[in-house]
Amino acid sequence: MNNNPIRRFALHAAMAAMMVGTLAVPASAQRDPAYAAARANGQIGEKMDGYLGIVGNATPELQAMVNDLNNRRRAVYTERAQAENATLESYALTAGCLAISRTEVGEMYQAPDGSWQRRTSAPPLRDARCP
Amino acid sequence: MNTVKLTNQRCGAHKDPMRDLKAFPTRSAVLLPGLLAGLLALSGCITVNAPSEPIVIELNINITQEVIYRLAEDAGNAIDENADIF
């Protein structure tokens, strides 16, 4: 029954494919190490408008990284705002509210007055409209 | 008043402009009132709805808390699904 070499081969191939499939599933996309480091250092902060900003002096590398991330964020905002029948600005502002509240201690974020703040264990200073 | 003619007129080689004009009153009787009514309605709309001041939209201020609350759940999912850029 199972001695047919072709069938055996097919069975093994199927099992191998299943194993590779379970291994290949990504846990979830992670931040690029350079981005994670710049966040942790406080070189990059979360702005109120839903985009990233450079806190101190901008280097070409930092600027390129922030521009790229912000462009990708805008693409996400644009697509989902359209699906939700909302404007890009309102969707981005909403995401900014959430991104600021999800900052970790030590990371930088923009307060409603426009100033950069370092996140403490206390709740961040956010726009009054934030959920 | 039309004068009575004893014999039928022959059709000319070209259209007689004066005879074509005869058809005008009957057609205009239908078209003109409609046209006038349309014009009146249009002009009425414009004068009634004309804004006195230009409308200025302040986008950032115009985003209401209601809208932000509506979008919050989806935006949270968007951040989770794109964890590499947030």
pLDDT in tens, B10-62: 655 655 555 554 444 555 555 556 665 665 555 556 566 666 766 554 447 77
Tens-digit pLDDT profile for residues A64-110? 999 999 999 999 999 999 999 999 999 999 999 999 999 999 999 99
**Residue A1: its pLDDT value, please?**
45
Structural domain containing residue B38? 17-81
Whether residue B5 is contained in a domain is answered as no
Task: Measure the CA–CA gap between B81 and B46, rounded to whole angstroms.
Answer: 49
Residue A7 confidence (pLDDT) above 60:
yes
Long-range contacts of A119-127 (CB under 8 A, 24+ apart): A124/A100, A126/A48, A126/A97, A126/A100, A126/A101, A127/A48, A127/A93, A127/A97
Domain assignment of residue B12, yes or no:
no
Per-domain boundaries in chain A: 32-118
For B63, the closest chain A residue by CA position comes to: A90
Tokens of B5: 């003619």
Report residue B5: phi and psi, to 5°: -110, 145
In a domain, B1, yes or no: no
Instruction: Answer yes or no: is B27 within a domain.
Output: yes
- Shortest Cα distance, chain A CAs vs residue B56, angstroms: 16
Nearest CB to A89 within list B60, B65, B70: B60
Asked if residue B30 is part of any domain, the answer here is yes
B76 assigned to some structural domain: yes
Best A46, A79, A94 member to test B by mutation, with max B CBs in 10 Å, is A94
**Count: domains in chain B:** 1
pLDDT at B63: 83
Question: Which pLDDT does position A63 carry in this prediction?
Answer: 96
Q: Does B69 have pLDDT greater than 70?
A: yes
Q: How confident is the model at residue A16 (pLDDT cuts 50, 70, 90)?
A: low
| Choice among A19-23, A51-55, A107-111 with the minimum mean pLDDT | A19-23
In a domain, B62, yes or no: yes
So what's the pLDDT on residue B16? Answer: 55
In a domain, residue B21? The reply is yes
